[in-house]
Structure 1
Amino acid sequence: MVKKKRNSANPLSQLFGQNGIKVLLGLVATGSFAIAFGQEKIQQLVSMSSTSNSACLDQFYREVPPYLVRESLHKNSFPMCFNGFNVMYSGISKTPLWVAEALTPTRLSQKIPREDNFHEETRVPSEYRALLSDYKSSGYDRGHMAPNADMPNKAAQLDSFSLANMVPQAPKNNQQVWRELEEATRAIVTKQKQDVYVVTGPVYSAKKLKTIGQGVIVPTATYKAIYLPKKGVAGVYYADNTLRDTAPTVKVMSICALEELTGINFFPELTEDQKRNTYRLPLKATQVKANQDIAYLHWDAESQCAADVAEDKILSLQKDFKSSGGSVGETSMASSGNDNNQDALVKQLIEEILQYLLQILK
């Protein structure tokens, strides 16, 4: 009696055959590759898509962006949505006009080690773009408007080093005074456990303005306007930026006073009464106490508050931020640029996975 030869082949071999096993192993390896090697790129895709919709409006109080009331500010200005903050960029000054961010206790609980990566903003057309070379040997710092320490993740941290988020800042202002004001703002959030809406930017008030590099305008001052919805506290930090070797004195003023200086309605959803109230904002983090309210300072009866913004203009500006997805210029150009970036990233990831798969199958 002839015994049947026992089939000792692997069940996988029976099911798929030798080539099938290679394909299966390749797919498993590809999955591992995508998780390991492609993780950073996948995160980039996620972060890019996260700024391409209405989530962008979360950085504004009641989802309403600051509005440029002064007509001259609209020339060559571009709304830009980033991870963790938004920018109204000016191609005239080659700096932001304002940078808005919403700080919460949850957001600031994320501690991201600083990794400097200053870079030019390629989404800005070249003729309006600030360059790294503009700041080199200029005597001015690349001063963050939305600070790195406010950022909740690496994608936001990288975005914060865009020159679209920078102004030429005097070293004593940037490294000492401004740093302390940023720390004080974060302390309000973390110690008192309340949300703070922040709008930061430059002031150009001198008759003759200085420039560096290829036309980046040096601001005469920098401001930080804040609003605390939980307590109704509002006010502005204002620091001179003309002193190169001396730390400037910080002024605390009303939002109306800043609106008169800049021609910008920083919080269109606040009433004129709210914007005239001025509080004794802390100048250092050590001045912030967990169970001590920020004291009232004065009522500003003299400043000219910015005019109210019509509902249709607000809706139009909201649409600009929502549809641009972080790009600049016309909506079609913005959407196309963002889509092209994502397509290129997907293509690169697929090509790398295929190359890895071919190596497995050899």
Structure 2
Amino acid sequence: MAKKRTSSKNVFTQLLGQNGLKIVLGLVASGSFVIAFGQEKISQWISLPSSSSSSSVCAEQFYKDIPPFIAKEALSKNTYPLCFNGFNVMYSGVSKTPLWVAEALTPQRLSQKIPRKDSFHEELKVPSAYRATLADYRASGYDRGHMAPNADMPTKAAQADSFSLANMVPQSPKNNQQVWRELEEATRAIVTKQKHDVYVVTGPTFTGKKLKTIGDNKVIVPTSVFKAIYIPKTGAIGAYYAPNDNSLKVKVVSICYLEEQLGMNIFPQLTEEQKRNIYKLPLNANSVKVHQEIPYGNWDAESQCAEDVSKDQLLALQKKFKTDGLSQSSNNSESSQSGMDQSTLDAIVKQLVEALLQYILQLLR
């Protein structure tokens, strides 16, 4: 006697009857899971524009809303002004690092404690030809050194932005992990202990004829790193300047000294007299005392300060940074997604699919 065939439709009906509720619940739950999982994973590769970003928010990171001004023409080649959550960057497509990173630190901002969550990623707002990649840093012997520190960030969005390679330079391990960490802690201590607003400009210097590079994209290794600070309430001003090596050396210099090394005007809003002052900036957080202002050090009469910038030039720069910095986020969002490496896309899709299947199987058991 011939066996009665069970149609695929009947099998599906039986399965649906037996597991229908689980399947429906599984699909609903897993759909929500994938959305959350996908957003977290994708955010590691894509720095999405924030709805809170605006020209005024960008400008707030600069003292009196004016960015540093690049005086050396060679430095201006292939530059990209980028407005992030909590900091701004002038990125160089030549060095494939920032030229400067600006932050406005306030007691309120630093009262927000965000647990660190690493999410190093390429900056897709920058064209691929001018972009540093994670592979460039891998096994290079250099750290991915934050210029705007993760610990300065007041929100998760700002923290995610801080892990963009547009905010990184190849930094010597001891310089990054010891000297620079202590200087970052000292800067935050000025804000939190003495309740001062502090304007900070941080970045690399490239001096000498033969500069080392890392990776296939030839990311240029800085010869030194700097952190310039200005405290409007007290007038205290100066800059940390450290060779990018494992010597653990660091010195405090004037803004004029720094401008001479860099070929840019760090604080165009300030007078030459102000920028020649050198205050005794603390080298670690323990040196910052609650009721003791930063003492005056000396006057730099030797360094060549940057030339004054005309009002028209400053207004043009301010407008350009606001316009270009914001348009990088919106105009390049589509091209950034399409320009993502295929291997990155494949990895994201694979992880999402595997997570979805595993989640459904767990629900059906």
Q: Please tell me the TM-score bracket, short chain as reference.
A: 0.7 to 0.9
Q: Aligned residue for 2:234?
A: 231
| Partner Cα distance (1:252, 1:341) in 2 | 40
Alignment of 1:48-127 (within 5 A): 48-127=50-129
Report the 3-state secondary structure (helix = DSSP H, G, I; strand = E; otherwise coil) of the residue aligned with 1:49: coil
1:257-314 residue CA offsets vs partner (Å, 9 max, x unmatched)? 0000001101110000000000000000000001001111100000000011111221
- What's the CA shift for 1:52? 3.4
| Partner Cα distance (1:263, 1:221) in 2 | 14
| Partner Cα distance (1:327, 1:112) in 2 | 28
* Aligned-pair Cα RMSD in Å: 2.3
Matched, 1:257 2:257: yes
Report the 3-state secondary structure (helix = DSSP H, G, I; strand = E; otherwise coil) of the residue aligned with 2:226: strand
- The 8 Å contact of residues 119 and 163 in structure 2, kept in 1 or not, is answered as yes
| Partner Cα distance (1:247, 1:49) in 2 | 43
Report the 3-state secondary structure (helix = DSSP H, G, I; strand = E; otherwise coil) of the residue aligned with 1:48: coil
| Partner Cα distance (1:312, 1:132) in 2 | 39
- What's the CA shift for 1:318? 1.2
Aligned length: 299
In percent, how many aligned pairs have the same letter? 66
- The 8 Å contact of residues 280 and 296 in structure 1, kept in 2 or not, is answered as yes
1:92-119 residue CA offsets vs partner (Å, 9 max, x unmatched)? 0000000000000000000000000000
- What's the CA shift for 1:336? 2.1
Matched, 1:337 2:340: no
- What's the CA shift for 1:324? 2.8
Q: Aligned residue for 1:10?
A: none
Q: Aligned residue for 1:182?
A: 184
| Partner Cα distance (1:261, 1:62) in 2 | 24
- What's the CA shift for 1:218? 0.2
Q: Aligned residue for 2:355?
A: none
Matched, 1:159 2:167: no
Tell me the TM-score normalised to structure 2 length.
0.78
Structure 1, unpaired ranges of 5+: 1-28, 329-333, 343-362
Q: Rate the CA distance shift 1:247–1:291 in 2: closer, same or farther, 3 A.
A: same
Report the 3-state secondary structure (helix = DSSP H, G, I; strand = E; otherwise coil) of the residue aligned with 1:292: coil
1:207-241 residue CA offsets vs partner (Å, 9 max, x unmatched)? 21000002100000000000000000000000101
Q: Aligned residue for 1:270?
A: 270
List structure 1 runs of 4+ shifted beyond 4 angstroms: 43-47, 338-342
- The 8 Å contact of residues 55 and 326 in structure 2, kept in 1 or not, is answered as no
Q: Aligned residue for 2:12?
A: none
Q: Aligned residue for 1:136?
A: 138
Q: Aligned residue for 1:307?
A: 307
Counterpart of 2:72, as a letter, is R
1:166-210 residue CA offsets vs partner (Å, 9 max, x unmatched)? 000000000000000000000000000000000000010122100
- The 8 Å contact of residues 278 and 299 in structure 2, kept in 1 or not, is answered as yes
| Partner Cα distance (2:53, 2:247) in 1 | 37
Matched, 1:221 2:216: no
| Partner Cα distance (2:105, 2:253) in 1 | 21
| Partner Cα distance (1:284, 1:255) in 2 | 20
Tell me the TM-score normalised to structure 1 length.
0.78
- What's the CA shift for 1:83? 0.3
